[in-house]
């Protein structure tokens, strides 16, 4: 085969001792927290599909495996790739173009770029002679496999969603197909070093999974597996760039089969569903999942945690989630100000978010709240309101495992939020430089210190009442380990914001 060897490569990148949050991260920053190593699910699926289709595959995630440049060079030299696949994001785009040019010169490999930023800007990406193909959307595992099959003459036409150069201009292969998620092979966990990944708040061994692709939004129970009312939050780069503002789930049976492998073969204690809002938006799917897990005698054998929208957390659904074995729910609060929630098109007001979170907490779920600061239309009182409401929610029926994350809002180029910010004159001069979308630079205009508010949010974890309630509800031996890694991670995050 002319293109028989494919490397999926995250080059080693370090800035002042901090690692970039790239693969499987929607919001980019460099972090001092050593505990965050999120498993890049679609690249891992790409590696799996390529291997299954007969390609020799190297999965080289130098960032999360903490590999040095020398170690990577050694592995690439030994492997001699014909194709190199790189996921990139706006802040690393320039650096990755340079690295791609070096790799191309050295190995003569075809270079494929994928990820959110290049899905928005494929033509711009192809201005770099080093890049041969840009594969758009989040279905790049299916598309790249089809592309390699096409390049090797196994199929007669290039799959849709690919941008390339032709006769001195940019061309593309047309619309992407409606891929059947159940047709994807289960991720080859050994090939992709699953055991090296995890986060501070997950029981170990932990594994990541996708129940589907895209945020189902406020949907309740559609007749099929496709959301009728998908999420559309203006800042949510993956929902727009990767999923085309749509959402669909794998069948519950297919999902349960992969869970069974993780639990029985890999002895996984906790599984995190890192789909945009998990499968929690679809009550019918959850009911089927319960039956599937029961049939396989898996209930009570593992914990499952998931992203979720607050409006999905009704009494009925919480009862169902509990029966299935859900433990932790990662829920977006974003802001406690309805004006902001409206502008970012969250499709929920604060009262609905508060209600869902409180219901989940009453049912005993650990809740990980995500918040953001730095909205250019907010004043300091608005930031304070979000802080106070987040604190109140953190102190409401606190039990061990509750936590929160805070970040600075970033209108990534291509998102509806970027367009809104541009239209309203909110962008600073930094906005035209992709490298500055790293949460350390002001991309939108603000009248107060965003980093200070962000740090203040993180510090809610140190509130005496929160710490006391967390400690007295510590129930399991493994919680002690979680408490230590959680504290280390928190210190890393505080350092990120100048502590």
41 versus 111: smaller Cβ distance to ligand SF4 = 41
CA gap 216, 226 in Å, rounded: 8
| Strand, coil or helix: 428 | coil
* Least distance CB 236 / ligand SF4 (angstroms): 3
- Tracing tokens 């039990």 back to the chain, one arrives at 399
Residue length of the chain: 499
276 versus 402: smaller Cβ distance to ligand SF4 = 276
* Least distance CB 313 / ligand SF4 (angstroms): 12
* Least distance CB 435 / ligand SF4 (angstroms): 24
* Least distance CB 276 / ligand SF4 (angstroms): 4
Q: How far is C-alpha 91 from the geometric centre of its chain's CA atoms?
A: 16
Closest CA to 19 of 85, 59, 64: 64
259 versus 333: smaller Cβ distance to ligand SF4 = 333
Strands 366-373 and 169-172: unpaired
* Least distance CB 277 / ligand SF4 (angstroms): 5
* Least distance CB 245 / ligand SF4 (angstroms): 8
277 versus 335: smaller Cβ distance to ligand SF4 = 277
376 versus 416: smaller Cβ distance to ligand SF4 = 416
CA gap 376, 177 in Å, rounded: 38
**Interface positions with ligand SF4 (CB under 6 A):** 215, 231, 233, 236, 239, 276-277, 309, 332
* Cβ–Cβ < 8 Å for 489, 458: no
Sign of CA dihedral 24, 187, 257, 224: positive
| Strand, coil or helix: 452 | helix
* Least distance CB 67 / ligand SF4 (angstroms): 31
277 versus 386: smaller Cβ distance to ligand SF4 = 277
Strands, E, within 100-229: which ranges? Answer: 110-114, 133-135, 162-166, 169-172, 206-209, 212-213
C-alpha distances out from residue 366 to 67, 353, 385, Å: 33, 16, 23
Cis peptide before 205 (omega within 30 of 0): yes
Q: How far is C-alpha 120 from the geometric centre of its chain's CA atoms?
A: 17
* Least distance CB 280 / ligand SF4 (angstroms): 11
* Least distance CB 274 / ligand SF4 (angstroms): 11
26 versus 29: smaller Cβ distance to ligand SF4 = 26
* Least distance CB 239 / ligand SF4 (angstroms): 4
| Strand, coil or helix: 41 | helix
104 versus 213: smaller Cβ distance to ligand SF4 = 213
- Tracing tokens 């060897």 back to the chain, one arrives at 5
201 versus 243: smaller Cβ distance to ligand SF4 = 243
9 versus 120: smaller Cβ distance to ligand SF4 = 120
Neighbouring C-beta atoms of residue 145, cutoff 10 Å: 22
Sign of CA dihedral 210, 212, 215, 218: negative
CA gap 421, 418 in Å, rounded: 5
Neighbouring C-beta atoms of residue 316, cutoff 10 Å: 9
173 versus 239: smaller Cβ distance to ligand SF4 = 239
* 406: CB partners within 8 A, 6+ apart: 370, 371, 372, 373, 390, 453, 454, 457, 458
Measured distance between the N- and C-terminal CA atoms of the chain, rounded to whole angstroms? 53
- Nearest position to ligand SF4, beta carbon: 231
Neighbouring C-beta atoms of residue 130, cutoff 10 Å: 18
* Least distance CB 231 / ligand SF4 (angstroms): 3
* 472: CB partners within 8 A, 6+ apart: none
144 versus 215: smaller Cβ distance to ligand SF4 = 215
* Least distance CB 215 / ligand SF4 (angstroms): 3
């Amino acid at each position: 085969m002319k293109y028989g060897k494919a490397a999926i490569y995250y080059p080693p990148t370090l800035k002042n001792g901090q690692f970039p949050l790239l693969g499987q991260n929607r919001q980019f920053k460099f972090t001092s927290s050593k505990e965050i190593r999120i498993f890049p699910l679609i690249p891992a699926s790409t590696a799996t599909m390529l291997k299954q289709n007969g390609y020799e595959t190297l999965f080289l995630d130098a960032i999360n495996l903490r590999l040095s440049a020398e170690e990577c060079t050694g592995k690439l030299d030994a492997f001699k790739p014909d194709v190199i696949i790189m996921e990139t994001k706006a802040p690393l785009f320039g650096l990755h173009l340079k690295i791609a040019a070096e790799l191309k010169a050295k190995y003569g490999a075809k270079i494929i770029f994928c990820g959110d930023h290049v899905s928005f800007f494929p033509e711009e990406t192809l201005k770099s002679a080093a890049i041969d193909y840009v594969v758009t959307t989040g279905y790049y595992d299916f598309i790249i496999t089809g592309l390699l099959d096409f390049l090797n003459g196994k199929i007669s036409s290039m799959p849709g969603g690919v941008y390339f150069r032709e006769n001195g201009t940019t061309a593309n292969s047309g619309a992407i197909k409606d891929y059947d998620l159940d047709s994807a092979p289960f991720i080859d966990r050994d090939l992709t070093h699953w055991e090296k990944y995890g986060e501070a708040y997950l029981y170990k061994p932990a594994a990541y999974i996708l129940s589907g692709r895209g945020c189902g939004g406020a949907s309740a129970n559609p007749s099929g597996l496709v959301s009728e009312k998908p999420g559309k939050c203006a800042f949510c780069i993956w929902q727009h760039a990767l999923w085309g503002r749509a959402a669909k789930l794998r069948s519950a049976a297919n999902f349960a089969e992969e869970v069974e492998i993780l639990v029985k073969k890999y002895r996984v204690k906790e599984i995190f569903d890192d789909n945009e809002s998990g499968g929690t938006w679809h009550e019918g799917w959850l009911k089927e999942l319960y039956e599937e897990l029961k049939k396989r005698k898996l209930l009570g054998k593992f914990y499952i945690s998931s992203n979720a929208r607050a409006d999905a957390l009704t009494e009925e659904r919480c009862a169902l989630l509990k029966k299935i074995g859900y433990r932790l729910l990662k829920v977006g609060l974003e802001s406690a100000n309805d004006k902001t929630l409206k502008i970012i098109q969250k499709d929920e007001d604060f009262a609905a978010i508060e209600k869902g979170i409180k219901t989940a907490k009453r049912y005993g779920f650990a809740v990980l709240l995500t918040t953001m600061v730095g909205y250019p239309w907010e004043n300091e009182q608005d930031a304070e309101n979000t802080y106070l409401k987040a604190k109140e929610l953190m102190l409401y029926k606190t039990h061990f495992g509750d936590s929160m994350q805070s970040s600075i809002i970033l209108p990534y180029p291509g998102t509806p939020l970027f367009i809104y910010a541009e239209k309203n004159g909110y962008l600073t001069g930094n906005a035209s430089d992709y490298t500055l979308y790293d949460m350390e630079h002001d991309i939108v205009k603000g009248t107060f210190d965003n980093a200070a508010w962000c740090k203040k949010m993180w510090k809610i974890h140190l509130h005496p009442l929160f710490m006391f309630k967390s400690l007295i509800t510590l129930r399991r031996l493994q919680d002690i380990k979680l408490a230590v890694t959680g504290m280390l991670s928190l210190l890393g995050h505080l350092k990120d914001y100048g502590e």
